[in-house]
Structure 1
């Protein structure tokens, strides 16, 4: 049986017998968890273990959206509450300090995730918001300055990798100009190709990162009909060529209302556009079966990209005292809020 180019969710905190049998027969590449799936550390470890047992692969990726701020699936009381990405840009008068804290945040989140068996974090957000855009991105973005987004995004991604967790750069090629929430409707961006180049910059700067997630956004200057996820023109001429990204590309959630057609049609269109793996998140088994009917085997370049991604975390995480690091992180943020220019020394944060 070949691994399928799919990432799927599950309904609750344990795998039902029906879900386990479905995963065993289908063999999706990975599982994505949401707040509904996360009760406490021991429960998550069992859920992760049961999924990997079902598919028969000890290294099967398990993903989660753990950005901080509004998008954090693992939170109090068992895990710290992390700030949104925008906080790190408040240290703009001390860029080295901002990058150090962003890296430390990534390393702390990696510690949390790695300890329960989660190996992929759908972060950092590399979108560049503009004035008047919908707030679906908002403070999830590091900054409205593309160069600052790139610098802080790299720092967080490197912190995740150091802790044995793969980052996912999102939402390629850029969601920051959208005037709608793609969970609810299809955003259409009418900016010129020249203007869009600024949105591409963070992704172009982080082309060495192993995984990327698409944007369900139409860019009329590139393809006036299809959103990036299902547009061969966007995937080939922008993501692969203009940006130069050759890592594994996964779709954003196929069940979002930005996309049209049946779930099977959405999956088929995404594969045809050039996405390596499709993602379905809500854990509804009847919907997952529709996606599975169009599932492709993970083969060719997609298989090579997936293997290369997993290879990035086949190492022992760097030495790390999580308790001390969290104390440093918390105190440093508090000082930055009151007096950023005298915040905690960046070299200390980087040494943890």
Structure 2
């Protein structure tokens, strides 16, 4: 059966009968988990299985934001607290940072895959600049495009080795944002040349990845009237053109306050602009119904990209988790001692 071009969240650690019925009727392409959905490994495994049962697809994507640092939905006591993205370059330098980041991502993938999560909303490829809002901050892998791309590539490869698909975010760049897009609409006034030479470069370097997420950010030199998520000019000329990304492009969360208007208007604007899949995260039933009513079936180029993304998902390679954890801790300790 056809899926809607939609990823949805749920409200708690188990599905209510009403949620399960809604998902069966709506048939979203995938789901996303947050801390409110996480209690224990056994509980998360049961939840991911229940979500997939509602749509009847064993391979249905289940996403999570598991970056490390302050954006980590699965954490202690059941899972390790991973370093923030910035730590890899800080403690490992350009020589050892990528290998350490790859190992950390491989361990994250082991955690995720073991509970049925097969998509991680990482790497963060935003490149912060001085004076920008701290919403990205230490989530970034560095402050130079080349370093961000190197660590980002390592993270993506570590995830994929562990049977988890990466989502690069936030295209075409959130690093200059002057506001937290969860709370307000950021406006970036940098000229196109500056964006091309700085912000776009990590995304261009990783344009072969299967999945990407848009930024709720206005770039005045690209489209002064619309954030990237709802800008046909940004999506078609920059994301698909200058960056060269042909993977599946999803919105950032449509419930974020950077966007205005009804949920119907937000959703329709994103699809008109060229988004492949809408993402709604908070589990609010009335909002989800409005988004779903405005979401098309997954078809055409969006379906091709979705199928290609899932086809790139491979079983995890052989992995001794205990040995890898010991190596990761030793690597962090050695790097910190040498820093």
**TM-score (norm: length of structure 2):** 0.98
- Which position in structure 1 is the counterpart of 2:50? 50
- Which position in structure 2 is the counterpart of 1:199? 199
Secondary structure at 2:12's aligned position in 1? Answer: coil
> 5 Å matches for 1:146-225?
146-197=145-196, 198-225=198-225
> 5 Å matches for 1:305-324?
305-313=305-313, 315-324=314-323
- In 1, the alpha carbon distance for the partners of 2:23 and 2:253 equals 18
> 5 Å matches for 1:231-250?
231-250=231-250
- In 2, the alpha carbon distance for the partners of 1:260 and 1:230 equals 11
Secondary structure at 2:131's aligned position in 1? Answer: coil
TM superposition shift of 1:225: 0.5
Alpha-carbon displacement from aligned partner over 1:228-268 (angstroms, at most 9, x marks no partner): 00000000010000100000000000000000110111010
- Which position in structure 2 is the counterpart of 1:35? 35
- Which position in structure 2 is the counterpart of 1:334? 333
- In 2, the alpha carbon distance for the partners of 1:245 and 1:292 equals 26
- Which position in structure 2 is the counterpart of 1:298? 298
TM superposition shift of 1:206: 0.2
Note the residue ranges of structure 2 that are not aligned, 5 or more in a row.
Answer: none
> 5 Å matches for 1:87-106?
87-91=87-91, 93=93, 95-106=94-105
Q: How many equivalent residue pairs?
A: 338
TM superposition shift of 1:316: 2.4
- Which position in structure 2 is the counterpart of 1:110? 109
- In 2, the alpha carbon distance for the partners of 1:21 and 1:92 equals 48
After superposing the two structures, state which structure 1 stretch, 327-336 or 7-16, moved more. 327-336
Q: Which runs of 4+ in 1 moved over 2 A?
A: none
- In 1, the alpha carbon distance for the partners of 2:47 and 2:315 equals 23
- In 1, the alpha carbon distance for the partners of 2:238 and 2:330 equals 42
- In 1, the alpha carbon distance for the partners of 2:331 and 2:106 equals 15
Alpha-carbon displacement from aligned partner over 1:124-178 (angstroms, at most 9, x marks no partner): 1000000000000000000000000000000000000000000000000000000
- In 2, the alpha carbon distance for the partners of 1:150 and 1:15 equals 38
TM superposition shift of 1:330: 1.2
Secondary structure at 1:253's aligned position in 2? Answer: coil
**TM-score (norm: length of structure 1):** 0.95
TM superposition shift of 1:96: 3.0
Q: Over aligned residues, Cα RMSD in angstroms? A: 0.8
- Which position in structure 2 is the counterpart of 1:67? 67
- In 2, the alpha carbon distance for the partners of 1:338 and 1:43 equals 38
- In 2, the alpha carbon distance for the partners of 1:255 and 1:116 equals 26
TM superposition shift of 1:92: 5.9
Alpha-carbon displacement from aligned partner over 1:52-102 (angstroms, at most 9, x marks no partner): 111111110000000000000000000000000000111464x23111001
- In 1, the alpha carbon distance for the partners of 2:190 and 2:207 equals 23
